[in-house]
Chains A and B, each alone.
Chain A
Amino acid sequence: EAGVTQFPSHSVIEKGQTVTLRCDPISGHDNLYWYRRVMGKEIKFLLHFVKESKQDESGMPNNRFLAERTGGTYSTLKVQPAELEDSGVYFCASSQDSRIGEQYFGPGTRLTVT
């Protein structure tokens, strides 16, 4: 069974540009999560989808971030315009249900904003 995949693995953009990160969850997983680790800090929750609906986006830092999950399959996270402080690693995870301990993480996308 394929795991959670993320694309690209690494992205380098200039401040003010737009970047779109993609996450493909494990097939059949209704729950999809985004997390990020910035500036060497701790991994922080961004938002949670149940199928195509946003269940909780309380962790989204500001309105420069937009997450979508059309059709309840893959998800995209767009940062527009990117700022220097957005640099970090963005992780996607998926699960069959919302129980803690059953989230499967992707390898992450390393975003560098210069």
Chain B
Amino acid sequence: SQQGEEDPQALSIQEGENATMNCSYKTSINNLQWYRQNSGRGLVHLILIRSNEREKHSGRLRVTLDTSKKSSSLLITASRAADTASYFCATGPGANSKLTFGKGITLSVRP
């Protein structure tokens, strides 16, 4: 069963706009990660946030984590057409490196 549930399932925005994607999970976690998947390719790691962190930045990416609400959000600022991809959140218990992935969000950035 999926641990992470992303919202929305699909998002379409104009280039230059910000994209916000949400992830909710059910059980306690050690860390939460976001991955990107371009069409026909494997997943690529974007950012990891630990359960004792509230916010993390990496370039145009900003991730927040609210463990009390069991939710995370990924913000992509000033989106580009190249950001068009599927985005997955994955939760890790930490003990054995296993991750549980959500079903993903399809982001389309219109030029």
Mutual binders A and B: no
Residues of B within 8 A of A (CB): none
